[in-house]
């Protein structure tokens, strides 16, 4: 339920500002995006201007009310419960192992698409999420650390509260890489270059940089991606499921084409993550 965008295929995601890259003097005939890019987890930044997850585990119920589609509320009894108006899952199970440990599983059409294990520190002011994302063809595992925002409510479970992400402590190899390839431009006015995209988690897409939706392979049924070139060094990217946007991003390549900065918003829960990716050197 605390969904952090932490996979290289999240580049397959329009309208958030990337930060930290130094824009170069590229022209439209240049192809600075080409190559294999690798996420540097230790350089990941979680933007503090957007929402932090607000979780409640009180009265035998789990509740999260800070995402689009209305509040989610299900019994924390370990059983699957149907949920409405969610784009990425249609059933949710929540199991409380104890006051400081909870397991949450999301399903779509009876298939597990995401699972996470939340553990709160003895002091109650820090939390760790270990998760597995099964939406793509290859699972991606990761670990995110959080700190409590504000004071804990007297008498509430340590798991309940507002949790602000701090650090991407781990990301599996399947979530780290993205290979982007474009074809040479015919003229300097040609912005809509043919491209192909292959991510480490099995997602792929082939089309043109014209911001039109094309099928996104290796992801949830009904997925599509739209990629447009805003500037010679900047891509604007939308990922949709069944026609509704779920991730929006902007990627900027540095002046030496060795670093890419990706600012990405989980559009469902309005959480923004800023990634740094390094171009993989050729041996």
How far, CA to CA in Å, does 188 sit from each of 2, 27, 31, 161, 193? 43, 7, 12, 53, 11
Residues comprising the chain, all counted: 283
* Span 222-231, pLDDT tens digits: 999 999 999 9
In this predicted model, which residue has the larger pLDDT, 67 or 94?
94
Alpha carbon distance 222, 202 (integer Å): 16
Residue 8 pLDDT greater than 60, yes or no = no
CATH code of the domain in which 266 resides: 2.40.128
Does 187 lie in the same domain as 218? yes
Domain boundary among 152, 173, 194: 173
Q: Residue 23 domain-assigned?
A: yes
Does 224 lie in the same domain as 146? no
Give the domain extent around 218: 8-47+176-279
Alpha carbon distance 6, 210 (integer Å): 26
Q: Residue 76 domain-assigned?
A: yes
Q: Residue 3 domain-assigned?
A: no
* Span 65-90, pLDDT tens digits: 767 767 899 999 999 999 988 889 99
Does 72 lie in the same domain as 154? yes
* Span 263-277, pLDDT tens digits: 999 888 888 899 999
Least confident range from 56-70, 78-92, 152-166, 238-252: namely 56-70
Question: What is the model's pTM?
Answer: 0.88
- The reported pLDDT for the residue numbered 1 is 47
146 Cβ contact partners less than 8 Å away, ≥ 6 residues apart: 2, 53, 126, 127, 128, 129, 163, 164, 165, 166
Residue 182 pLDDT greater than 80, yes or no = yes
Domain boundary among 173, 200, 232: 173
The tally of domains found in the chain comes to: 2
Alpha carbon distance 278, 75 (integer Å): 43
Q: Given the DSSP bridges, would you call strands 72-75 and 61-64 parallel, antiparallel or unpaired?
A: antiparallel
Does 23 lie in the same domain as 41? yes
Q: Residue 2 domain-assigned?
A: no
Residue 15 pLDDT greater than 50, yes or no = no
Does 202 lie in the same domain as 111? no
């Amino acid at each position: 339920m605390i969904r952090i965008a932490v996979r290289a295929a999240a580049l397959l995601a329009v309208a958030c500002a990337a930060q930290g890259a130094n824009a170069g003097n590229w022209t439209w005939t240049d192809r600075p995006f080409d190559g294999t890019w690798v996420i540097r987890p230790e350089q990941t930044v979680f933007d503090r201007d957007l929402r932090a997850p607000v979780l409640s585990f009180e009265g035998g119920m789990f509740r999260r009310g800070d995402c689009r589609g209305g509040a989610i509320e299900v019994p924390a009894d370990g059983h699957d419960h149907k949920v409405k108006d969610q784009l990425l899952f249609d059933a949710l199970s929540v199991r409380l192992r104890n006051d400081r440990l909870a397991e949450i599983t999301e399903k779509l059409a009876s298939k597990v698409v995401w699972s996470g294990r939340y553990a709160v520190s003895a002091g109650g002011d820090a939390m760790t999420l270990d998760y597995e994302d099964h939406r793509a063809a290859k699972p991606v595992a990761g670990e995110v650390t959080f700190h409590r925002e504000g004071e804990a409510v007297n008498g509430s479970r340590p798991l309940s509260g507002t949790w602000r992400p701090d650090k991407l402590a781990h990301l599996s190899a399947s979530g780290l890489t993205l290979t982007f390839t474009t074809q040479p431009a015919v003229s300097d006015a040609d912005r809509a270059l043919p491209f192909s995209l292959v991510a480490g988690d099995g997602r792929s897409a082939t089309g043109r940089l014209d911001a039109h939706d094309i099928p996104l392979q290796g992801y949830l049924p009904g997925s599509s991606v739209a990629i447009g070139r805003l500037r010679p060094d900047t891509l604007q990217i939308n990922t949709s499921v069944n026609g509704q946007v779920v991730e929006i991003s902007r990627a900027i390549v540095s002046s030496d084409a060795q670093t890419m900065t990706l600012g990405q918003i989980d559009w469902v829960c309005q959480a923004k993550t800023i990634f740094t990716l390094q171009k993989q050197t050729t041996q």
